[in-house]
Structure 1
Amino acid sequence: MKNVYCPDCNAALELCTGSGRCAACHKVYRLEARCPVCQQPLEVLKACGAVDYFCRNGHGLISKKRVEFTPV
């Protein structure tokens, strides 16, 4: 996963499951999976322990390696 940065102070976030914590300003952000092509939120598909991402805007299944996580 690529580094995700704090929207307030631009420090790298410490990533946890579904969230990121900024050690510099002590804020916690929920992380949203976004399509690398259209930047729209992705649908998260979970089955049998696997997690997949689907773009409803015509880009289909998105590889976990390509998903961009954005602090919200």
Structure 2
Amino acid sequence: MELTCPVCHGPLEQQGDKAHCAKCSQDFTLTALCPDCHKPLEVLKACGAVDYFCQNGHGLISKKRVEFVVATQ
């Protein structure tokens, strides 16, 4: 899934929970969503690892399945 800039619709470069648009030089915050219920995930960080947990009954979610969206400000 390729993220696009909400301002200029150029491609965003994802850097963890942030994204950068090289075309319009803006930075954005990303929100991790559960691929099953589409609600925000809890981000668990420990010992350099990042895991995602759905508090709505779906448990741990693989990083490969997480849906990232540009957070609304």
Q: Indicate the SS of the match to 1:8.
A: coil
- The whole-number CA distance in structure 1 between the counterparts of 2:27 and 2:46 is 28
1:52 aligns with 2:51: yes
Aligned AA (1:45): L
Counterparts of residues 1-72 of structure 1 (less than 5 Å): 2-72=1-71
The answer for unaligned runs of 5 or more in structure 2 is none
TM-score normalised by the chain length of structure 1 = 0.82
- The whole-number CA distance in structure 2 between the counterparts of 1:14 and 1:61 is 25
Give the number of equivalent residue pairs: 71
Structure 1 ranges of 4+ moved more than 4 A: none
The answer for unaligned runs of 5 or more in structure 1 is none
Root-mean-square deviation (CA, aligned residues, Å) is 1.4
TM-score normalised by the chain length of structure 2 = 0.81
- Greater relative contact order (CA < 8 Å, ≥ 6 in sequence): 1
